């Protein structure tokens, strides 16, 4: 098995020295993958949340640490409302995301998606 403790020490050093959130993306992905390899799904989420919080206020989204069915239902309804009257081609023809911070947040969300399901599949 790998030396996860040493990896975490080095990762924390890199995070402290990084100048921007974008400088931290790959190290956060590595830390998340490390947690996933150990089946520490809650740990993967705990790694991802502080990184994602760097963007929540700036871009107007919030991620709950402990979502419940009500919060999830509200978000689904908000999404459905935004999609009212839209056709599939409307979504296909949207411009590609180019903001590096939004793309970075998307990478972290993609890295931690499975962990969120396994940590609490309900």
For the chain, the structural domain boundaries read 4-63+99-119
Each residue's pLDDT tens digit, 11-44: 889 888 988 888 888 899 999 999 999 999 999 9
Q: What is the pTM of this model?
A: 0.79
pLDDT digits (tens, 9 = 90+) for 44-86: 999 999 888 888 878 887 787 778 889 889 999 999 999 999 9
Q: Which of 62, 36, 48, 53 is nearest to 115 (CA)?
A: 36
**Spatial distance between the Cα atoms of 23 and 6, rounded to a whole number of angstroms:** 20
Nearest of 35, 40, 39, 46 to residue 7 by alpha carbon: 35
């Amino acid at each position: 098995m790998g030396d996860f403790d040493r990896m975490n020490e080095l990762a924390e050093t890199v995070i402290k020295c990084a100048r921007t959130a974008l400088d931290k993306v790959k190290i956060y992905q590595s830390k998340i993958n490390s947690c996933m390899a150990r089946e520490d799904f809650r740990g993967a989420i705990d790694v991802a949340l502080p990184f994602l919080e760097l963007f929540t206020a700036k871009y107007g989204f919030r991620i709950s640490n402990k979502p419940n069915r009500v919060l999830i239902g509200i978000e689904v309804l908000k999404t459905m409302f935004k999609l009212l009257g839209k056709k599939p081609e409307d979504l296909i023809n949207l411009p590609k995301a180019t903001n590096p911070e939004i793309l970075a947040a998307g990478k972290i969300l993609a890295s931690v998606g499975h962990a969120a399901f396994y940590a609490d599949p309900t």
